[in-house]
Amino acid sequence: MLFQSKRRKLVLKPMVVKTTELVWLESFVEYLAGECHLAENTVAAYRRDMNHFWEWRGNRMVSHLTISDLADYIDWLHRRNFSPATLARHIVSLRLFYRYLQIEGLLLKNPAELLGSQKLWNRVPQVLSPKQVDRLLTGPVPGDPFWRRDRALFEFLYATGCRASELSTLTLHDVHLDEKYCLCTGKGNKQRIVHLGNRAVEAFQGWEGWERNDLVNKYGESNFAFLSYRGRRVRRERIWELVIKFAERAGITMEITPHTLRHSFATHMLAAGADLRQVQEMLGHASIATTQIYTHVDMSRLKLVHEKYHPRGKKEF
């Protein structure tokens, strides 16, 4: 009811506009978390996107912005040198915000629907070669702080294709070493089974039996699979820092994040002949269109497919 009363004030007191529309923003964030059940990190990302939108719009009323104005906003984002993926998410955030205002009856028209699709900003992801992956995964060595944990983290990232946030919240109850799989909770709290190879299992056994055991003895038992040096859940930001640190040690010059290992996992699986829908299930993608981007990465696989199935692609003898 408070939400509606503030809308009535909008007509009588134009000076309340900023406060009223800020309420719209806060209600939108609550809607994403409470009704859409989006992951905490996703909600935080959308909130940051909307903060950029708020910065751009200044004192202008959201309800008075036109498609031309919103196109200027996208141009403003371009000038800030955001990555294609970040640009795409900003557009999704804005369209969701305007759609929410329509659902609540706060706006009659939705100019954000006329913005270009995020597919315009899709970019083929960068991946590591198998040799680069091997150098990265064997980077932590005895003498490094918690080198067994870091090796286990890297092996899990590459073996499962999990996101850093998913490994950060992984619990011991989710890890089934005897059956060689773990239960991963992804975006929207959707769970999926991801399989583990022998190296990932062995690396986790080494971490659990030595460093993790020492941390538990010192700080008490924890439900999380991967712990910080203080016995708490390892933060996803720390996983990013570790990947960057050991990528430099491995001589990898390209920009790399934990997501690079996720991209590499998917690409290498497809290159080895895995079915696209199987990879989609392992990655936890809601749409196969998201997974299809990896078919553009490995050109050697596409070449083999072309040679095998195209009438003029087969070799003549």
Measured CA to CA, the distance from residue 317 to residue 313 in angstroms comes to: 13
Measured CA to CA, the distance from residue 260 to residue 127 in angstroms comes to: 6
> In the beta sheet, which residues pair with residue 194?
182
- For the record, the structure tokens of 255 come out as 């920009």
Q: Which has the closest alpha carbon to 150: 71, 240, 77, 224?
A: 240
Residues in CB range of 24: below 8 A, 6 or more apart: 62, 101, 106
Residues taking part in catalysis: 163, 187, 259, 262, 285, 294
Measured CA to CA, the distance from residue 141 to residue 143 in angstroms comes to: 6
Measured CA to CA, the distance from residue 208 to residue 220 in angstroms comes to: 14
Q: Output phi, psi for 42, to 5 deg.
A: -65, -45
Q: Which has the closest alpha carbon to 296: 126, 134, 86?
A: 126
143-159: b (≥16 Cβ within 10 Å) or e: ebebbbbbbbbbbbbbb
At 151, which amino acid appears? R
